[in-house]
Structure 1
């Protein structure tokens, strides 16, 4: 397919992983892409590493934040600069499989869907498989997504030709969930998934949830601030979220020895 895909990659102190993430884009079998790297005021060698890619690839671009602005504003800068027919996301510590874009674009065209995502594998900080796969729901409605975020952001892609550019609400956490809620609502159709795993999500100790209870407040703000629900309605959806997360969504994780 000839369509241009814009890939949005926010970075912050990503020196240990950024080369692998960028190379997973360069190695895509769909070759018509542009990569927007947005650095959120890194203090390590991230920019030095990135420069080596900029020197070689004319379809890789860099935007630098003078101060740390957070994931939402950082991603939005890339989205606003993007020129692609489709917009996809990959964080600076995650990895795509080579046929990720090609398979999703063909699937979206064949199934007339505006929003697509896929299953993905979990890896550790060393890039080793954790023998766990997060299985994507075959079809995802707005109503179902309201209960919990079922889209792995590293697998999500939306059709900017039909939906226009959709940006993130400025929350420090869970802003990607709001983006996919907006995309599905604007589409008026459910999102559809590829059941095959197309990416690797890196589980990092620094982001692992000894902080899970702290993240609950960000889930609440998705409803209260992001969606503008009343306090009572937000609390109601928080109850639904907790039930969905602990009793239903957990079934997405499949133990596997396969890549």
Structure 2
């Protein structure tokens, strides 16, 4: 039986420094039936020149160019609308997959009849130096997700044939809103506690500012999920606790 198509969603902005490593990690996948949809978010650098060289070599890679900068949520949502795959997966333009990532996760999904899965992953710095490994809780519920974002965006894969397509809210911490939406509908799922990807932490990355991330999370509780002040506070305290655990 032929493997079903996986659509890989990659927003690109000022990604010239790392985009080659990202694309190479996709080309190296042992699971071959994929399309990579890269959305250029009106980037001022030369990343598109690099991307176009890969497109000439492999027609599984596509590039969509935005005329105005819209941010990562909109860029990912545009790619999701264009995606033709049974499976949707996410890989940012400075992150890396291990070459067996897709094969292992999709096999895991099929064997366990899952519509969503995720895995452990490593963190690296700008020089590819290992920082730590972020292991996962192997079974999670919607309530677990409210307490902490248990799904590293670069590891998440979901089955559109079973649950349709989901989109990110155009807010900061947008990937968290996506996984919360899916988890609210399916209630629980399982993940592989094996590192299958590398998440790059940049010195000046937005997500590295922990105070901002916490404020974005509070905004999601109050304004996206419409939780009352007591529930928001309860889950927010847990979120802070688990964020500290991740770092150590």
Give TM class, smaller chain: over 0.9
Match of 2:202 in 1: 204
Structure 1's consecutive aligned runs of 4 or more residues displaced over 3 angstroms after TM superposition are: 230-233
Aligned position for 2:64: 63
Q: CA deviation at 1:128?
A: 2.3
Q: How does 1:106-117 map to 2 (within 5 A)?
A: 106-117=107-118
User: Which region of structure 1 is more displaced relative to structure 2, 121-130 or 227-236?
Assistant: 227-236
Instruction: Please tell me whether residue 16 in structure 1 is matched to residue 17 in structure 2.
Output: yes
Change (3 A) 1:210 1:20: closer
| 1:165-193 superposed Cα distances (whole Å, 9 cap, x missing partner) | 0110110x2110111111122224x1211
Matched with 2:50 is: 49
Q: Check the 8 A contact 2:30/2:99 in 1, yes or no.
A: yes
Tell me, in whole angstroms, the C-alpha distance in 2 between the residues paired with 1:210 and 1:122. 12
Distance change in 2, residues 1:5/1:210 (3 Å):
closer
User: Residues 165 and 16 from structure 1, CA distance in 2 versus in 1: closer, same or farther, beyond 3 angstroms?
Assistant: same
Shift of 1:210: 6.4
Q: For residue 212 of structure 2, what is the aligned residue in structure 1?
A: 214
**Size of the alignment, in residue pairs?**
247
- The answer to whether the 8 Å contact 1:8/1:37 transfers is yes
Contact kept? 1:113, 1:192, Cα under 8 Å: yes
**TM-superposed deviation, 1:241:** 2.1
TM-score of the superposed pair, with normalisation by structure 1: 0.90
Match of 1:6, SS? strand
8 Å CA contact 2:202, 2:208 repeated in 1: no
Contact 1:135–1:253 (8 Å) recurs in 2: no
1:25 aligns with 26
Q: Distance in 1 between matches of 2:9 and 2:243?
A: 27
**Matching of residue 183 in structure 1 with residue 217 in structure 2:** no
Displacement of 1:226: 1.8
Equivalent residue runs for 1:225-240 within 5 Å: 225-240=223-238
1:195 corresponds in structure 2 to 193
Would you say the 8 A contact 2:8–2:34 is kept in 1?
yes
The structure 1 residue matched to 2:239, chosen from 238, 241, 247, is 241
Q: TM-score, normalised by structure 2?
A: 0.94
Q: 1:209: how far off?
A: 6.3
Cα distance in 1, alignment partners of residues 216 and 111 from structure 2 = 36
CA contact (8 A) 1:147 1:237 kept: yes
Ranges in structure 2 where 5+ consecutive residues have no aligned partner: none
